[in-house]
């Protein structure tokens, strides 16, 4: 599919079919983070996250997730941005910062991160190295 294309897809998941709407976009080459953020760079993924507050959950229309406050390293290279809400990693819903840390610690070399960015939800593959 080309950028700007929209489609409806039937997806089979957990024993049932669900229809999703897909809009193909294109990433810009803008700089998403610098390497002068030592706290984020310490971790394998390269993010500093915090739990969502009630207002953020309401605005994003989500029940779970953590918000990215700082990004560097593998996450920055993959395109994760400050303000993204991490909803799941490798299909597992994220409910806390500790859970995210545990999943990343146990992961091998690549993970799929589902983020909510504005009004879009996108999967971002991240090479952990």
Q: What is the pLDDT of residues 73-94, one digit of tens each?
A: 999 999 999 999 999 999 999 9
pLDDT band at 96 (very low <50, low <70, confident <90, very high): very high
- pLDDT, the chain, mean: 83
Q: Residue 100 in contact with residue 67, Cβ under 8 Å?
A: no
Q: Is 121 exposed, middle or buried (0-12, 13-18, 19+ CB in 10 A)?
A: middle
pTM over 0.95: no
Decide if pLDDT at 30 tops 50. Answer: no
**Nearest Cα to 10, choosing from 23, 25, 20?**
20
Predicted pLDDT of residue 41? 47
For residues 102 and 10, the model is more confident at 102
Decide if pLDDT at 29 tops 90. Answer: no
Decide if pLDDT at 43 tops 80. Answer: no
Give the residue carrying structure tokens 């560097």. Answer: 72
Decide if pLDDT at 37 tops 60. Answer: no
The whole-angstrom separation of Cα 28 and Cα 41 is 23
């Amino acid at each position: 599919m080309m950028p700007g294309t929209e489609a409806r897809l039937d997806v089979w998941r957990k024993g049932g079919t669900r229809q999703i709407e897909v809009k193909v976009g294109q990433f810009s080459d803008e700089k998403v983070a610098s390497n002068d953020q030592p706290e984020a760079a310490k971790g394998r993924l390269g993010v500093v996250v915090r739990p969502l507050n009630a207002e953020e959950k309401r605005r994003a229309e989500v029940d779970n997730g953590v918000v990215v406050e700082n990004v560097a390293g593998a996450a920055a290279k993959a395109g994760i941005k400050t303000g993204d809400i991490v909803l799941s990693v490798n299909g597992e819903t994220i409910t806390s910062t500790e859970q995210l840390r545990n999943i990343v610690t146990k992961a091998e070399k690549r993970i799929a991160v589902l983020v909510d960015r504005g009004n879009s939800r996108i999967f971002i593959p991240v090479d952990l190295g």
